[in-house]
Each structure stands twice: as structure tokens, then as C-alpha cells.
Structure 1
Amino acid sequence: MNQAHCLSFIEQPFPSKLNPKIQSLFGSLKQNSFALLESTPQPFQTTTSKRLAVCFSGGPAPGGHNVIVAIAKLCENHHNLFGVMGGFGGLIKGQLKPLTLTDCESYYNIGGFDLLKTDRTKLTKQAHYDAIKQVVKQHQLDAIIIIGGDDSQTNAIFLADALAELSCSVIGVPKTIDGDLRYPPYLPISFGFYSACDVYIELINNLIRDTQSIQKYWHFVKLMGRTSGHITHYVGTKTKADLFFLGEYLAKDSMTLSDLVKHIGDFILKSTHNKKPYGVICIPEGLLEWLPDIKQLINGLHLDPAIGDSAMAFSSLSATNKTILQQFPAYIQNQLLLERDAHGNIQLSRLETERLLIDLVKHYLAEQDPNFSFHGIPHFYGYEGRCTHPNSFDANFCTQLGHIAGSLALNGYTGYMAGIDPTHNPNQAYGIPIAQLLTHETRNNNTVVVVKKTTVLN
């Protein structure tokens, strides 16, 4: 893939068909039932100068700056590039600044999203779309490139539909360390996953070495990954942690919280009996949401993120859910009743699942043997990996994704996400129709249309 010129694309059938109920939501994107495949050998030649904007959205991931540098290289000397300051919130407010290759180059291979900053604004109101339309008109934008995860790509596809009347394209770039944006063969993983995992692997290997040195302590490590267990699966496998749990499998086996506590407690008893009273146990950030009894409780929490009223949330629970909630320690009850994020999710990074498991396992072990000595230490690894420098895989991957996204935008396509398999087919670029990735999901007891996440089991 020659990164010195803009790519051209041809159409090929996409393996899935858009749900008719979802299709009815879009007036201008119904034709996006095909994937775009990079054509050869002639590059696309733009005859007129275009004006592109690029925007970070959601949490940082290693390699994001390389995406922007690649787009800037594509625009150099012929097209105008603008950076959106502060994510979708900045886009709504019209906070754009001109970007040149010189502005971006010093950020190449640098972690973080600090060149443009980011936020988690969700486009939920017509006023949001109206404001962005005014920004598009004011800056005469031909395209907006959104670098973000599944919720950000959901924003992108609805924005693409809204801006079609202005002939302004919207293109997505798949970003999330969670690894739950993957659609083989077009996209095997989202960028940032492997770089973040490298950090977590080093940290956990240090813990393992420490326990082997001093021969004590059980470390309970919660790893980022709200819905999917991809990070925990990859890191747990690479480090050979004593135990690691994936919510997908716990749900498949209908394992309750008490079942999980018993499993961990029995493992610790057996390990100690075998002269190994120490170890490392890894769990995903979203573990509790996969347990059927706790999922029932979480689904019953009617908490409007704009209200933040814990008393209202508690009063809305059924008698069964109130009983479940009251069995938790006070700190977990308070954390469950915290405000939800902009997408209606309970803020699991604030939920001290690792501490909860230590407390419950300690209680279980005391019931089995009042004299049993157990010392658990909680850890949460997430933010440590989000802004690390990209490893060589993500550095190259992001450069390719930026080149593809810029090419899609300059070609005038809209509603597509850049894709490539850098390991097995590094010379084949794709445009993935975002609308084909949409599904219905229940959030805050409301059915919404969102980009589907991929879990360990699918």
C-alpha cells in the first residue's frame, strides 16, 4: 500500500445485511451494503482541494497521533486539514484549528491524545446535529474523520446521515484498547489493544515475580475491558496468571457471584495446601455485569445520568434487587448508585470489584477455616496502558489506518470505517460500512441502536 498517494476503492459485497428496522433510520446511507476494497493499480487523483477535519473521541489509545500524522501527510500541499479540539463536544462548539504536517510530526509514535484532546460527548439531541451542521458550513468542510470506539462510531454513522445533505463525509477509525471492535477479515483488532496489553503484562509479571520472591500475598488485578474480556484473556494467557476469569464464560455457565467466590476460595485453599500460599488473579472490569444475579440488579437500576439521585435509583428497584444490593458492602452499594456515563453505562472503572472479591473470599475462607491466613491486595490496571507509546505493531497499524481513512474521505465516501489486516494482508485496505455493524442494545432500560461489540465468544 503506497502511502504517498490517495487510494482508490472498488465495491464488494458485505457478508451481512442491514436489519430493516435499523435501515429505516437512515435516509441517505441505505446504499452502504457493500465493503470497499482498495483497487489497483491506479491511485485516486483529486482535482480540487478539499477541507477535512479530524476528531478524537472517547478514551485514549496508543497510536492515535500516528493516525493524524498519516492524514496530514495525505493532505500536505493540496488539502486543508483541521483538528477538532476536545472531541464531539468541541465539534459541537466549533473548536477547530488548522493542522499542518509540521504541527503533527512531533507527535508521531507518542502516546495519548493530547494533540487535540478528547471527550465522551454522545450525540443525543437534534441541537447537537444542528450545531455541527453550522460548523460544517462555517468551515466549508468536505469530511470529518472520527477516531473512536464503538460508541464513537455509533455517533459517526448517525452524523454521516445527518450531514449527507451538506455533502460532508464522515469516516471512522477503529480505536479502543478493549479490543472489542474487530471484524475479520476487514479488521482483526482495534488499534491500541496490543500496546496497552504490553503495559499490563509487564506490571503483572512484576507482581508474579514479587510473589515468588516473598512467597506471600494474593493479588487481585482488575483489567480494563467493560463488555469484553479480550484484555484479560490475552494478558492472563501471556502472564500465566494463577487464575483469570472471563465474564463471557461465567455467563455461559450461569455462574453467580457466590459461585465465583467459592471457586476462588477453594483454589486458594488447594494452592496453599500445595505449599503455594500466594498468586495473581485477574478479572475484567465488566465482570459483575456478566453474572446473572448481578446483571439483574444492574439492569434494575433506573438512574438518569442527568439526575444523579441515588435514593431515586434505590426506590426504583424490585424487592429482590433491593435484597441483592443490601448484601453488598456499603462501598459497593454507593458505587453501584453513582451517576452513569454519557452512554448510560454504570461506571465500572469506579466499581471496586477487585476489593469486593477480596472481602468476599476472605469471609468464605474464614468460614472454611477460622485460622486460615489470607491477605489479598487489590489492583486496577487501565489508565496505565491507555496513553503509553504505541508498540511497533500499533505504530504501523495506525499509520495505515490514517492513510485509509484519509483516502476514503478524499474519495467522498461516507459512513465507512477504515480497515486492514496488518498481519495477514497488510497491502489490502478496506472501507467497512458502519451501518452494517449496528445492532439493538438495551441501555438504561431503553432499546438503542449501537455498533455491536465483539466478545471473546463471537
Structure 2
Amino acid sequence: MIKSALQIAREKYIPKVPAALKGSVKIVEGEKTQSVADQAEIEKMFPHTYGLPVLSFETSDEKKDYPAIKVGVILSGGQAPGGHNVISGLFDGIKRLNSNSQLYGFLGGPSGLTDNVYKELTSDIIDCYRNTGGFDIIGSGRTKLEEEWQFEKALENCKKLGIKALVIIGGDDSNTNAAVLAEYFMAKGAGIQVVGVPKTIDGDLKTEMIETSFGFDTACKVYSELIGNIQRDANSAKKYYHFIKLMGRSASHIALECALQTQPNVTIISEEVAAKNMTLDDVVNQIVDVVVKRAEKGENFGTVLIPEGLVEFIPAMKTLIGELNDLLAKFESEVNNLESNKERREFVAGKLSKESAEVFTQLPNSFANQLLLDRDPHGNVQVSMIETEKLLIDMVKAKVKALKKEGKFKGKFKAQAHFFGYEGRCAAPSNFDADYTYSLGNAAAILIAEGKTGYMASVRNLTAPADEWLAGGVPITSMMNLERRHGVMKPVIQKALVNLDGAPFKKFAENRDDWALNTQYIYPGPIQYFGPSEVCDLPTKTLALER
């Protein structure tokens, strides 16, 4: 395998870990927990794993002997920088506790578990992937574990291999899978533990105990570098507005973090749009207002950041998409059998409520067609395929043109559309993410060794030096609520949206008017791996402000 100079150098990097993960560990139990909402219903669904206490790890002088164990690991959902280091940390962790322990990777995500497709991960394999981006060590997938036959196949395949514990590395839905599987194995008395690890670049999997999901730090730094590059170009050419859609399926954490890092002219925060009950037209007018005021200063260029999930937060659009999700689940075959997009639009419009039908029929046909695309495995609209940035450009262009006719706009408006998503998902992890994920893998190993199940690995106090980080575990059921999926209420981990009363949003809100009218761009540049800690090890601005 030919490797770049950076790959070779990064192989030698030794991740920093909390003090409690360097030697013998004592587990301290906190108070018993309950779910964030729908407590009675969640407890009824998870009688064996509900109400578990939060766990903290502390250093101990007591030397423990742990039996050898076979552990399975699954990468689930979209990629996020640092996944390979979770597996490296898990491997090193179980080997440190007993050198005869073994790690098996199920290939291609959860389907690898049900199809019994796997490979043993040995040191020669692990060593090739340390501190690298991507999920290619075993691959990932989006299969949802929710049917009893899947649970039975998982149980059967684990027993064949002698696997006594599973680690599922994923986002909110994947960790929900982990909780359901843990409960099923407990109910069956299977003797197989399940531990989750918090992954998603979106940043929406977090609580007091899970301060951030891994990959968020690296992805935001990659996107911010690109935004900075574009802003430097915009400030040089002085002739384009760059509309940049940023990945982040629901929450606007990425858009907010990138705004704090780069200081663009406009950043739409979906949660604010919902809170203010804004229409699509309101969003467009907000952008147009900045374009007009900057033109008055002779500045006919700028940057506009748009969160990927924006359309689902505009109240009328959210209602429409909710109805579409239910309709397309109910009439999937009928819609798929129709030959043209026009027929599909007409069929769906006839099934919608009066209010939603009115919104749907007024949308540009191309945009309405995008709302009818196949749903993801969880029944949600695939917002990454909806070209919101192009829709906003067209609507702003039309408004500016009308203002020009009225003599209220004397500038110029030309726009470029961008979507930054996949560029950040498999980047080489930042030092922060490399350290954090390796620590999470080690924490998962200790949870397994101590016989815990239904937990998510947790590492906190992340704005302090790594030696002062606090490791432990949080019950997955404590993060759950009920949500509608495919027309049915199901238990899922509650998404953490941008808190409009939180320090990161307040910092943004205090400065956005200045950033809008005055060109105050910051150019973060590429991720730095070698050099002073204040350059290489910084957490995100979101995390620093929150803590």
C-alpha cells in the first residue's frame, strides 16, 4: 500500500487519554436515570435496561484480572472522522485487560451481524488504520435492527463465534439499535452485552454526559477551511455571493460552528426559523436585506451558510414533509408505479391536507419532485438531496430583480451554489477527534470488562487537557423519547438541536449584524496536526462556549 507522507507521520501519533484510562479502573455509580421524555412508555419497552445509573471511571490501585473475551464491533450509519480510532482504542483496551481477548469486525454495518459476514481484527490490520479517516477497515451500513428475526440472527451469529459483547459505533438511530438489542439479549438471558459509542458529524447526539459526538470537530474544521478559502476568493474577486449548504441532517450545529469559525455575511439557523415561525419567503427576505445593504456600500459579494435540514424547520414545510413521510410510507407502491413526476405530484397533492396541498402545489416542480424522493431507512426525507441552496438563489435573484425595477437596488447579484457534505465525513481526524475517539474505544472496553450493557461510552470535560478528561458510561435509555417513524411511534434517542438560549448561538447573534454588513471574514486554514497545542488541540468554538 502506497501511503502519503501525512499518513506515515500520523501512524506514529499516540493519542492522549484521560488519566483514569491509563491503569487500573474503579467504577463509581451515580444516581439512577430516567428517559428525557415519555418515561412510563420507555420503561415499559425496556424493563431490563431502564433506570440504570450513570457510571464514572476513577483510577484505582487494585489490580484486577479480567477473563479473555471475544468482542464484536459494528460501524453504523454515515462516516465520521475518528471511527478507526474508536476501533483501535477498543482493540488496545481489551488487549490491555487480557492479551488473549479477540476483536471481530462485522462488515458493512448491522447487516454484517445478521448475515454473519465478519473478519477478525488483528494487530497488523489495526495498525494500518490508526489515526486515519474513513470507515473502510470494516465498512458501514444503514440497516436498522428492529425486527425479531434480526435479533435472533444476531444472537445466533454471536453464539457461533463465541462473542460475548457487541460495540455499535453510530448516531442516534444506531445507538437506539444498540439499546433495543441490549434489551432483547437481556430478556433472553443471552449473556451478550451491547455498548454504544456516540458518532455523528451533525453534532446532534449530545447531553450533559455526552458533550459532543465524535467527528463533529474534524468535519467543522474541514468545512471552515473550505468556507474560508471561498471567502478569500469572494473578497478578492468581489463579484459573487456563495450560497453554501452544510451537512447536518436536522440540527444546525455545523452551520453555527462554521459561522463562529469563519464569520460569513449570512447564516441561517433552522431552529431560529422554527422558533420565529418564519416562512420560506421570510428566509429569502433576510438574505435579500443583507444583499441590498452591502450593495449600498459597493460590496456585491458575500457568503451565505445554509443548514442541510432547513426545509424541515420552516413550519409549513415541516408539516408538509411530515405528511409526505406518512403518505409515502402508506402508498409507497402506488407512488412508485406512477410513470411521471407530474403524476406523482398530482397523486400526492390529492392525499394531503388542504393547507399542505396548497404549500406543495406552489413549490417549483423541481423542488416538489425532490421532496418525493425515496426515504432513508428511517423513513425520513433525504434532505441532502434537496437543493435548498439553489432554490434560495433563484428566489433571492427574483426579489433583487424586482427591487431593481423599482429603483430600490442599484447593485449586482450573481451567485454560486455549493454543498459541503462528503468532503468532511472521512477526513483524517483532528488531534482532538483522534484523542477523543481512542478514549471512547478504551472506555467501551472497560464497560465490557465490567459486565455493563445498554450503555453508551462517555468522555467528558473535553475543554480541559486530555489527561483531565472524565470517562464513564451513560445508560442509552436515559437519552430516549418517542417519535413518529413510518407513521408509528417508536423509541429513539432525542436529537439535541441548537439551543437558542445557549452561549454559542448568543455569541453568533451578538455579532451577525456586524458580519453581515462589514466584511469580517476569518480564514481558518487546514487542520494542523503538528505544532503548539493552542493550534493543534483546540476543541470547537461550540464546545468551548458551552463549557
One fold, TM greater than 0.5?
A: yes
| Equivalent residue letter for 1:317 | L
Correspondent of 1:318 among 345, 353, 364: 353
Contact 1:221 1:281 in 2 (8 A): yes
Correspondent of 2:60 among 27, 41, 45: 41
Correspondent of 2:268 among 224, 230, 245: 245
SS in structure 1 at match of 2:46: coil
Change (3 A) 1:15 1:26: closer
**1:154 corresponds to which residue?**
176
**1:440 corresponds to which residue?**
482
SS in structure 1 at match of 2:496: coil
Contact 1:300 1:316 in 2 (8 A): no
Change (3 A) 1:427 1:379: closer
Correspondent of 2:397 among 362, 365, 387: 362
SS in structure 2 at match of 1:10: strand
Map residues 276-295 of structure 1 onto 2, 5 A cutoff.
276-295=299-318
**2:204 corresponds to which residue?**
180
Contact 1:211 1:279 in 2 (8 A): yes
Contact 1:289 1:295 in 2 (8 A): yes
Contact 1:289 1:298 in 2 (8 A): yes
Contact 1:69 1:101 in 2 (8 A): no
Change (3 A) 1:153 1:109: same
Give CA deviations for 1:199-237 in whole Å, capped at 9, x if unaligned.
100100111111111111111001011111110001012
Instruction: Count matched residues.
Output: 456
SS in structure 2 at match of 1:304: helix
User: Are 2:80 and 1:69 equivalent residues in the alignment?
Assistant: no
2-structure distance, mates of 1:398, 1:61? 11
Contact 1:366 1:372 in 2 (8 A): no
User: Are 2:367 and 1:332 equivalent residues in the alignment?
Assistant: yes
State the Cα distance separating 1:107 from its structure 2 match: 0.5
Contact 1:365 1:372 in 2 (8 A): no
Correspondent of 1:275 among 298, 302, 321: 298
Give CA deviations for 1:2-59 in whole Å, capped at 9, x if unaligned.
5455644121115655611111001321351x10111331467344211101110000
Change (3 A) 1:410 1:377: same
**1:143 corresponds to which residue?**
165
2-structure distance, mates of 1:15, 1:411? 19
Give CA deviations for 1:38-90 in whole Å, capped at 9, x if unaligned.
13314673442111011100001001101111111123322111011111011
Bigger mean CA offset, 71-80 vs 216-225: 71-80
**2:458 corresponds to which residue?**
419
Q: What are the ranges of 5 or more consecutive residues in structure 1 without an aligned counterpart?
A: none
| Equivalent residue letter for 1:87 | G
1-structure distance, mates of 2:252, 2:63? 40
**1:221 corresponds to which residue?**
244
Change (3 A) 1:383 1:357: same
Contact 1:5 1:74 in 2 (8 A): no
Correspondent of 1:259 among 282, 289, 310: 282
SS in structure 1 at match of 2:45: coil
SS in structure 2 at match of 1:303: helix
**2:5 corresponds to which residue?**
none
SS in structure 2 at match of 1:431: strand
1-structure distance, mates of 2:481, 2:77? 20
Higher helix share: 2
Tell me the TM-score normalized by structure 1. 0.95
User: Are 2:42 and 1:26 equivalent residues in the alignment?
Assistant: no
1-structure distance, mates of 2:63, 2:179? 24
Tell me the TM-score normalized by structure 2. 0.80
**2:27 corresponds to which residue?**
9
1-structure distance, mates of 2:55, 2:100? 24
**1:52 corresponds to which residue?**
71
2-structure distance, mates of 1:193, 1:262? 31
- Between the aligned residues of both structures, percent identity stands at 37
Change (3 A) 1:42 1:106: same
